[in-house]
Amino acid sequence: MTSSARRGLPLDHWLSWFETLHPKRIDMSLDRLASVLDTRHLRPPQCKIVTVAGTNGKGSCVAMLESIYWHAGYGVGTFTSPHLKRFNERIRIDGADSTNEELIAVFESIDAALGPITLSYFEASFVAALEVFKRHAVDVAILEVGMGGRLDATNTVDADCALIASIDLDHREFLGETREAIGREKAGIVRRGKPVVIGDRAIPRSVLEHAAAVGAVPYVLGRDFDARRVASGWVRDADTAAVLPLPPFGGDEQLANAAACAVVVERLGSVLPVAERALAAGIDRAYLRGRLERQDVDGVQWVFDVAHNPAAAAGLAASLSRWPAAANTWIVFAAMRDKDLAGVVQPFAATAAGWFVAQASADRGATGEELGLLLASLDARGVVVTADAAAAVAAARATARPGDRVLVYGSFHTVGAAMEELRLYCAPSPLGDRPATWIRA
């Protein structure tokens, strides 16, 4: 089918088209994409760029930066991945998901200009994001790295400030087997003479070595900045009197993320000034799907979290341990086969009253039977294998009683399917009414 014949087709068609257009689902190269961006006059972007990498915490940082800059009066474009349910979540303007109509128009425009070049699904998504940002003439774009950094599609544009939230073992088949190797890949987003904010206290040497080699300017948590919890919130360091609000999602691990975001704002203050009250309001009102998200369903507390690696699962367990105890905790779990599955389930294996497991994705997900065998080897109780995530949710709902808790985690696929099954999924509203008196500093 020619590009002209595809005009007017629905968004689902375009997403399916780009899923199959390129021969590789993941292509760790940038030349083709760079050529398309240049042809489309999308680089250098006509806005400031903040690129956010990290094994865990990057989604939280993106959400806070988006909210901070919006509350400061700027037009903000945000690119994230993956999505829980709708592709539209990946590309936002001022906190609002992109519309089907705009995405269709953008994909039609991209398709007409590709010629012999093919793009992967993620690459096409990124081009679409830059097109949307250009159309809306945003002041700042917050880009979440999909995987790694050096060879990620987002690295085809130069960051005015880079943020590396944390580094742990994940995507090892692409990024390397050690934190040093993975750190080197994530450090690829830094640029000469530009700040890189690092929100990891145990940063691998490879990150700082690469920053020094390319002439970037690092700001490291625990060395150049810090966060300290106080009774009414947190402060940025021992000499700062201003108390900032706690982020509305996650646990104490979010203090490092919030502090890193504050440093990004500070480093870009000469071109994107932000008043202290906009910083506070932005942190306080940030919105993030699927991170310790709580909903009450018939007296049962449902908790949704996209944790899918051991570090994230350990953080999730630590956060839940600080909450009031539930009578019983039941778990709905499905995850990708390429994850450290034992490490992801370990924090809850001995304490959950029962598990409802399923296959998260037909192509990459571990089967329910595989997860059942793994949990049995860890002496987990009450493991029930179900047909899919929706069936796992239905079984958990039938089992849980008022006063119980159901934890849904393991992947974006799992959380998205569960929220849809419970009729809890909806696109968020924009961030609210922007206070005119908070514009700029």
The tens digit of pLDDT for each residue in 153-183 reads 999 999 999 999 988 765 555 555 688 878 8
For residues 113 and 274, which has the higher predicted lDDT (pLDDT)? 274
**What is the pLDDT, as a whole number, of residue 211?**
92
**What is the pLDDT, as a whole number, of residue 24?**
63
Asked whether the predicted pLDDT for residue 325 surpasses 70, the reply is yes
Query: 224 and 311: one domain?
Result: no
With pLDDT > 90 as the criterion, what percentage of the chain qualifies? 59
Q: What is the CATH number of the domain that holds 142?
A: 3.40.1190.10
Query: 215 and 338: one domain?
Result: no
Residue 231: pLDDT band by 50, 70, 90 thresholds? confident
What integer is the mean pLDDT of 198-210? 90
Q: What is the CATH number of the domain that holds 399?
A: 3.90.190.20
Domain end point (choices 272, 288, 304): 288
Domain end point (choices 242, 266, 288): 288
In a domain, 99, yes or no: yes
Structural domain range at position 125: 3-288
Asked whether the predicted pLDDT for residue 38 surpasses 60, the reply is yes
In a domain, 438, yes or no: no
Query: 43 and 146: one domain?
Result: yes
In a domain, 354, yes or no: yes
Query: 75 and 157: one domain?
Result: yes
Domain end point (choices 288, 322, 343): 288
In a domain, 427, yes or no: no
What integer is the mean pLDDT of 82-103? 92
Asked whether the predicted pLDDT for residue 404 surpasses 80, the reply is yes
Residue 225: pLDDT band by 50, 70, 90 thresholds? very high
Range scoring the smallest mean pLDDT among 11-25, 245-259, 354-368, 398-412: 11-25
Asked whether the predicted pLDDT for residue 441 surpasses 50, the reply is no
| Total of domains in the chain | 2
Query: 259 and 370: one domain?
Result: no
Range scoring the smallest mean pLDDT among 2-11, 131-140, 291-300: 2-11
Query: 224 and 249: one domain?
Result: yes
The CB density around residue 436, as the number of other CB atoms within 10 Å, is 7
For residues 163 and 231, which has the higher predicted lDDT (pLDDT)? 163
Residue 331: pLDDT band by 50, 70, 90 thresholds? very high
Query: 264 and 343: one domain?
Result: no
In a domain, 436, yes or no: no
Query: 79 and 197: one domain?
Result: yes
Query: 196 and 324: one domain?
Result: no
In a domain, 320, yes or no: yes
Query: 282 and 343: one domain?
Result: no
Pairing of strands 161-164, 195-198: parallel
**What is the pLDDT, as a whole number, of residue 177?**
63
**What is the pLDDT, as a whole number, of residue 25?**
59
What global pTM score does this model have? 0.87
Query: 268 and 297: one domain?
Result: no
In a domain, 437, yes or no: no
Three-class SS of the chain: CCHHHHCCCCHHHHHHHHHHHCCCCCCCCCHHHHHHHHHCCCCCCCCEEEEEECCCCHHHHHHHHHHHHHHCCCCEEEECCCCCCCHHHHEEECCEECCHHHHHHHHHHHHHHHCCCCCCHHHHHHHHHHHHHHHHCCCEEEEECCCCCCCCHHHHCCCCEEEECCCCCCCHHHHCCCHHHHHHHHHHHCCCCCEEEECCCCCCHHHHHHHHHHCCEEEEECCCECCEEECCEEECCCCCCCCECCCCCCCCHHHHHHHHHHHHHHHCCCCCCCCHHHHHHHHHCCCCCCCCEEEEECCEEEEEECCCCHHHHHHHHHHHHCCCCCCCEEEEECCECCCCHHHHHHHHHCCCCEEEECCCCCCCECCHHHHHHHHHHCCCCCEEECCCHHHHHHHHHHHCCCCCEEEEECCHHHHHHHHHHCCCCCCCCCCCCCCHHHCCC
Range scoring the smallest mean pLDDT among 12-16, 42-46, 84-88, 176-180: 176-180
Query: 40 and 182: one domain?
Result: yes
For residues 56 and 432, which has the higher predicted lDDT (pLDDT)? 56
Residue 380: pLDDT band by 50, 70, 90 thresholds? very high
